[in-house]
Amino acid sequence: MKHNITPREIVNALDKYIIGQADAKRSVAIGLQNRIRRLRLDDAMQKEVKPKNILMIGPTGVGKTEIARRLANIADAPFVKVEATKYTEVGYVGRDVESMVRDLVEDARRIVKRQKHEEVHEEAEAKAIERVAKALRPGIKKKKDNQNSGGMGDWAAMLRQMNPQALQQGEEEEEEVTEEIAASRRQIRQQIRDGKLDNHEVTIQMEEKKLQMNSINPAMEQLMDMQDSLNALTPAKKVERTVTVKEAVELLTEEEADKLVNQDDINQQALKIAEERGIIFIDEIDKIATKNEQGGQVSREGVQRDILPIVEGSQIQTKYGMISTDYILFIGSGAFHVAKPSDLIPELQGRFPIRVHLDDLDEEDFVRILVEPENALIKQYQALLATDGVDVHFTEEAIQAMARFAVELNDTTDNIGARRLHTIIETVLDELLFEAPDMQMGEIEITEKYVSDRLEPIVGDGDLSHFIL
């Protein structure tokens, strides 16, 4: 976690991507800063200070998920987003609530693995370049004389049947490298480093990647652990891939880095940072409120009671060991149109002491969303069309018109917040996106009239706007 960042800096970083919602940004910034403060305390006091979980309340499309996701990026913290409606009470078919914690550990492991790989990158890359050079300029393989091996020929044949990969690997290790081959490889290695062979194709051998699956329940996770243990007893299967030299170096660097780092250290460190820095974002938590008018009240209350011990703090078994959820930060989120926060069971309400209300977005907010953030929609589409040689410019009046239509549609149909802008701008640029690859258009100006001509016929037809916009 970044220990030198202040709440004001956190808010400023969030402002680069999210428009408005100052209160929500302030609350999550304080929550993150309190976690940093806790790590500065002595061990005895650290155990007493628990994170203050946050409940975000606001309509869809106003930035709840984006705030949580960007917060995790700023803190370089493990983050997982889950939907409360995907879980079911114990005894029903569905995802086990504890899987959210196991998913968090997997994300933490990804972060630690990336850091460890960066530490050994130079050595791993050197080994990868050597392997690519060998593939481009192989040596002269030595062949064993099985006739004089005292009956070893039969044994080798049996081994080939049982494990051809192991025998092949042993054979590949024995090769004759003449001075000419060695000099050629040195030259190839230098050319690879200089990038002169980046687009040259090469066939390499790699260890086959094991398919990673998310477990549905603890029983399934135990079966997966047993499968991993069995796989560890057999040599890794090799697969051949034909890729460019640049891709080959990247792939083999990753594989060599895996060999250089200690996987047990990664696992234990991942458990620790998931405990200390992890953030779990529980979306649609209002959908499991018990006083919702929809059916299935018992099941929804059961999900809440299953989530409760995790939010309170408990020990969860993962494939890498036990993890405590005492210090994980939980952020709940929901529109709460029908249900209210008070409709959650009292015990769960008490575990989300910080309540943040996010405001509805108005026309001015939509205008800012279109142009201000670093990843603003208009900037995205300008970059996309620039790949076809089209320089698109939007007038201020055109941007204002798109924002106005977005507000009108949110008022007259379902309010989906800023997500409405995606459908608006896609509809406005539909013809241009289709024709751009076949026409050398140069500069194109999108005016208010251009926007109105494409949106007014649809917005004016209520039935049509429901389906298109």
Under-50 pLDDT residues of the chain: 91, 93, 146-152, 155-156, 159-160, 162-171, 215-216, 292-293, 295
Beta bridge partners of 57: 334, 357
- Looking at residue 259, its pLDDT comes to 92
Distance CA 258, CA 238 (A): 16
Distance CA 291, CA 293 (A): 6
Please write the tens of the pLDDT for every residue from 47-66.
888 888 999 999 888 989 89
- Looking at residue 308, its pLDDT comes to 93
Distance CA 324, CA 276 (A): 9
Give the residue from 428, 323, 308, 411 showing the smallest Cα distance to 104. 323
Give the domain ranges of the chain: 7-112+270-357, 121-140+157-260, 363-457
Tokens standing for residue 275:
């405990």
Question: Alpha helix (H) ranges present in 341-445?
Answer: 346-350, 363-371, 377-386, 396-412, 419-428, 430-435
pTM of the model: 0.80
- Write a three-state SS string for 274-338: HHHHCEEEEECHHHHCCCCCCCCHHHHHHHHHHHHHHHHCCEEEECCEEEECCCCEEEEEECCCC
- Looking at residue 412, its pLDDT comes to 84
Q: Under CATH, to which class is 363-457 assigned?
A: mainly alpha
- Looking at residue 375, its pLDDT comes to 85
- Looking at residue 176, its pLDDT comes to 75
Please write the tens of the pLDDT for every residue from 390-416.
999 999 999 999 999 999 888 888 888
- Looking at residue 224, its pLDDT comes to 59
In this structure, are residues 239 and 28 in contact, taking their beta carbons and an 8 Å threshold? no
Tokens standing for residue 356:
């943040």
- Looking at residue 376, its pLDDT comes to 92
Architecture category of domain 7-112+270-357 in CATH: 3-Layer(aba) Sandwich (3.40)
pLDDT above 90: percentage of residues in the chain: 48
Please write the tens of the pLDDT for every residue from 170-229.
445 567 778 888 889 899 999 999 999 999 999 998 888 765 555 445 555 556 556 665
